[in-house]
Amino acid sequence: MWQQTEFFFVILSVIIPGSLSVSWNMVVSGEVTVSRGEDAVLGCSFTHPRQQHYSGRITVKWLARVSDALPFFSCSVKNDSREEFSSCSSSGIKYSLDGDPRRGELSLLVKKVQLIDNGWFFCRVELDGQWDNFQKHVRLYVTGEPLILSLLVVETPSGSDSARRRLQCEVEGQPLPRVVWLSASRSLIENQVQTSQTGLYRLISSVPYPEEEALTCRAEGELGGAERTYPASDTLMITLTVCGVLLLLLLLLSTGVIKHLRRTRAENRRQRASASPADGEAENHLVYSAITLRSSTNAPPANFKRSTRQHEEPGVLYSSVNVQ
């Protein structure tokens, strides 16, 4: 009896996995290669004999790195539902489903991929039932042109054998770029160059920087290159531009103040000129009177009239007075 039971379980262990492998069919993209910042679609589709008459839920799961990881994306829909499928397709999130599971479409849309997204992804579908699930993997390969993340002077510990001040350059890229240093004359610097990898896609390189000299860090890779010079060549231009703008603002400000003062003075003069005397009183004028003493001949001396005219001043009223 025990031998028959053992034989029965052996038959089941062979039949069940075999039936599952035949009943399920899943197709995935072999490898998806995109550039950093672009959108990627990880293709995945499936078919199942029960799907045409299946009324339960279809659950889609996507896992990353390892096959038994917790899913970072999950979505489900009833197979017999006629509702619009939008719960797992949103424009505001990084991951969304690119397709409808009711038609066997399980592809994942990854928006604006970064280098950190490199690696294996696992597409998994589950139907109601313990054995109704299946998954396959697809690789996402993200490429990135070399970038220089930072270039700055750092102080090394006093006990270090290298120079106290070093110019440090941090670069990033996929494939990992190579870092070279150039002097102001564009000659290659090879003395005391220290380079180390700080991540899957990052390098840090440094050279001694004892004096204020212009040095260039250059990152070279299969997809191109990038370089940066320290100190930046446009620093002087930026400084002169800022100073020029400040001087222009001061000039405009002083010109406006001068015009305002002149306008104020002119307005005050006009107001004084057009102002009428207070209380209806007549305006006082300076009057000079020429007094003529009549002689017996009834004619004023000629020399007196000439002397009066010679001393006349503009703006002064003159009047003749006859004294009998």
Q: What does the pLDDT look like over 74-112, one tens digit per residue?
A: 988 898 887 776 667 666 689 999 989 999 999 999 999
Q: What's residue 1's pLDDT?
A: 46
Is pLDDT of 55 > 90? no
Is pLDDT of 4 > 50? no
Where residue 39 falls among pLDDT bands split at 50, 70, 90? very high
| Phi, psi of 27, deg, nearest 5 | -120, 130
Is pLDDT of 322 > 60? no
Q: What's residue 87's pLDDT?
A: 62
CATH: 3.40.50.1100, 1.20.120.1200, 3.90.1150.10, 2.60.40.10. Which one for 23-142?
A: 2.60.40.10
Give me the helices (H) in the chain, please.
2-23, 235-274, 302-310
Q: What's residue 65's pLDDT?
A: 94
Q: What's residue 149's pLDDT?
A: 96
Intrachain domains 23-142 and 144-156+164-230 with the same fold: yes
Give the 3-state secondary structure percentages of the chain, helix then strand then coil, rounded to 5.
25, 40, 35
pTM: 0.62
Is pLDDT of 133 > 60? yes
Q: One-letter amino acid identity for 287? A: V
Instruction: Give the domain ranges of the chain.
Output: 23-142, 144-156+164-230, 284-323
Sign of the CA dihedral 219, 223, 224, 226? negative
Considering 178-182, 270-274, 275-279, 309-313, the range whose residues carry the highest mean pLDDT is 178-182
Instruction: Tell me the mean pLDDT in the region 128-157.
Output: 91
Is pLDDT of 180 > 90? yes
Where residue 312 falls among pLDDT bands split at 50, 70, 90? low
**How far, in Å, CA of 279 to CA of 32, rounded?**
99
**How far, in Å, CA of 323 to CA of 294, rounded?**
6
Residue closest to 79 by CA, chosen among 58, 99, 97: 58
* Of 251 and 59, the one with more pLDDT: 59
Considering 93-97, 143-147, 252-256, 285-289, the range whose residues carry the highest mean pLDDT is 143-147
Give the architecture-level CATH label for domain 144-156+164-230.
Sandwich (2.60)
